[in-house]
Structure 1
Amino acid sequence: MTRIAHTDLDVFPLALGGNVFGWTADRDESFRILDAFHAGGGNFIDTADSYSAWVAGNAGGESERIIGAWLADRKPDGVTVATKVSQHPQFKGLAAANVRAAAEASLERLGVESIDLYYAHFDDAETPLEETVTAFGQLVSDGLVRYTAVSNYSADRIREWVRIARDLGVAAPVAIQPHYNLVHREIEDDIVPVAEELGLGLVPYFSLAKGFLTGKYRSTEAEGEASPRAAAAAQYATPQGLQILEVLERIGAAHEVSIAATALAWLRAKPTVIAPIASASKLSQVPDLLDGGRVELTADEVAELDAVSEWTPTDM
């Protein structure tokens, strides 16, 4: 387990992404995935109030409802649930009243007394940051939220949030959720230094580069496939991207784990990373995620992956 700094949250070092629940994984399959993850030692689940409003017939909150139903039915011990606010169709933005209403709605869907980790999902330029920081602090003071965090914020805005929180004497963020993986390393120039400076933990999303780092998609021809996942992953299937997969495959074989598990292990080895987020839309994908939370790469293996991934695809 890994302790999130400034908290009493001990989490498995791989967070199960809930974005697929109610989308590519129906309720029954979601329960099977959650059961297997928990049985394998996983206790960290990540979702958002907006998941999955983009699906025809959905309104947002579907993932939270499935997770809440699973929690109520299984009553698992020691599970940490993170969710987010600002993108639900009925609760857009980070104005104080909206943050409060959205948190209350998430609590109802999850069926819990307090949210373990509550993220500002995206920055809201139309709302004064002090108003948002105050609102998040009030949620903690009132017991609706245990700890706060930010996602998709710039380095400067993270520093400003923490400064305001300290000036006001309210809860400051304990974690940052950024886009980070072997083919998207730009945050090492700005977000990682901020996390190190302020003692915040990283919980990266798109840890498997939209599926590319599973090794399943190795041709740009996938762009013509019907699957949105295949088309999204195919953009990384450049010569450099394929070199990364080759190294991942070789290192993974040495540890008897998959390409995906090896890519997740590389992220876990990076400074300030607490737990990468990865989703499973099928029960059969869960073992790779659990392996990704356990396998330990050597310093030489991490360095080799660092070297082969020192490039940035264009328009990614």
Structure 2
Amino acid sequence: MTQLLDAATTSAFVAPRRRRIGSSDLRVFPIAMSGNVFGWTADSESTIGILDEYIGAGGNFIDTADSYAAGRSEHMIGRWMRSHRNRDAMVIATKVGKSANNPGLTARAITRAVEASLERLDTGHIDLLYLHVDDDSVPFEETLLAVDELIRAGKVRYFGAANHTGNRLIEARIASAQLDVAQMVALQNHYNLVHRSEYEEGLAAVALRQNLAVMPRFALAGGFLTGKYRSRLDLMRGARARDAYPYLNRHGLRVLAALDQVAAAHNTSVATIALAWLLSKPLVVAPVVSASRPEQVESLTAAASIQLTRQQATELDRVSAR
């Protein structure tokens, strides 16, 4: 570990570069700001402060869904963009399939959901549309044709998947080729230092073959990888601690100990290093993170400027492996 620290002290910050989303022409800041708490644990004032801090750090990629706070998240993001007159500078991703008003991925549900999202976001187009669920009750052909029609109409620019298995992504790619319609460019999936196998042992190979940009969600394991939950007492004090609870074990604490060492070497936070580890992985374009208060944003966006040494990345790989 001493060698790890010595090597780290000579590493330097690098300027964040925007990364390309798959085969699209979308280029984004390497950290996506999630709107999942907007209208829920973050009120209007906090949401404005969070987004202001984010763009102040160079951010341009906002991720939301029509189901977040029953659509209030999209409303709040739309109002913020309108007040700042910055829609053209932002890349907006939203998801359809889980809302109470337009559930599922039938052609009718997708079309209605996108129209509603466009109205709430106060925009003429969605840059990246995710299929928020894998609705196997609907033939992929129907879903893909509906999305392609929205793309041809200019209401959606590109699309991707969330919560899909590797096999289902392969099915979708085959169907897209047969129908000669737009293909997915992005994948949003559960991936972080304490939840690796689901992505690395299945989805990663499919994403590579299909040139999908990977946007890890739960990138900080429900707050566990911020380092604030290290005992059962800590869990009792956290309003959203149930998301971190599964990771408070020997394995999770070993990961936090390794993160502590690397964070100290870079004079930064545990959360920053956990995100920097994700950004060091092939195909990962922008982990999706959330903040409930503006002061939390800095440690998230700082990850885009951290360059882990080879020794640090290898040690984090080793400690987090199961």
- TM-score after normalising by structure 2: 0.92
Assess if the C-alpha contact under 8 Å between 1:218 and 1:234 holds in 2: no
- Is the counterpart of residue 66 in structure 1 residue 83 in structure 2? no
- Is the counterpart of residue 213 in structure 1 residue 230 in structure 2? no
- Is the counterpart of residue 119 in structure 1 residue 118 in structure 2? no
Instruction: Output the amino acid matched with 1:140.
Output: I
Assess if the C-alpha contact under 8 Å between 2:29 and 2:286 holds in 1: yes
Instruction: Output the amino acid matched with 1:196.
Output: L
Assess if the C-alpha contact under 8 Å between 2:23 and 2:185 holds in 1: yes
Q: Distance in 2 between matches of 1:123 and 1:158?
A: 10
SS in 1 for 2:95: strand
**In structure 1, which of residues 133, 137, 140 is the aligned counterpart of residue 148 of structure 2?**
137
Supply the RMSD in Å over aligned alpha carbons. 1.1
State the aligned residue count. Answer: 303
Q: Distance in 1 between matches of 2:310 and 2:111?
A: 45
> What are the within-5 Å matches in structure 2 for residues 69-148 of structure 1?
69-76=79-86, 77-148=88-159
- Is the counterpart of residue 37 in structure 1 residue 54 in structure 2? yes
The structure richer in helix per residue is 2
- Is the counterpart of residue 163 in structure 1 residue 157 in structure 2? no
- Is the counterpart of residue 271 in structure 1 residue 282 in structure 2? yes
Q: Distance in 1 between matches of 2:282 and 2:231?
A: 31
Q: Distance in 1 between matches of 2:222 and 2:285?
A: 20
Q: Distance in 1 between matches of 2:138 and 2:112?
A: 16
Assess if the C-alpha contact under 8 Å between 1:83 and 1:118 holds in 2: yes
Aligned identity (percent) is 46
Aligned to 1:23: 40
Residues 46-95 of structure 1, C-alpha deviations (whole Å, 9 max, x = no match): 0000002xxxxxxx101000000000000125210100000010010000
**In structure 1, which of residues 258, 281, 284 is the aligned counterpart of residue 292 of structure 2?**
281
Q: Distance in 1 between matches of 2:307 and 2:149?
A: 39
Assess if the C-alpha contact under 8 Å between 2:255 and 2:319 holds in 1: yes
Instruction: Output the amino acid matched with 1:144.
Output: K
Instruction: Output the amino acid matched with 1:197.
Output: R
SS in 1 for 2:133: coil
Aligned to 1:56: none
Kindly report structure 1 stretches of 4+ aligned residues shifted beyond 6 Å. none
Q: 1:225 Cα deviation (Å)? A: 4.6
SS in 2 for 1:204: strand
Instruction: Output the amino acid matched with 2:280.
Output: A
Structure 2: give runs of 5+ residues left out of the alignment.
1-17
Assess if the C-alpha contact under 8 Å between 1:218 and 1:242 holds in 2: yes
> What are the within-5 Å matches in structure 2 for residues 246-265 of structure 1?
246-265=257-276
Assess if the C-alpha contact under 8 Å between 2:229 and 2:235 holds in 1: no
Instruction: Output the amino acid matched with 1:167.
Output: Q
- TM-score after normalising by structure 1: 0.94
Instruction: Output the amino acid matched with 2:301.
Output: L
Q: Distance in 2 between matches of 1:3 and 1:224?
A: 41
Q: Distance in 2 between matches of 1:225 and 1:253?
A: 25
**In structure 2, which of residues 305, 310, 322 is the aligned counterpart of residue 294 of structure 1?**
305
Q: Distance in 1 between matches of 2:31 and 2:238?
A: 29
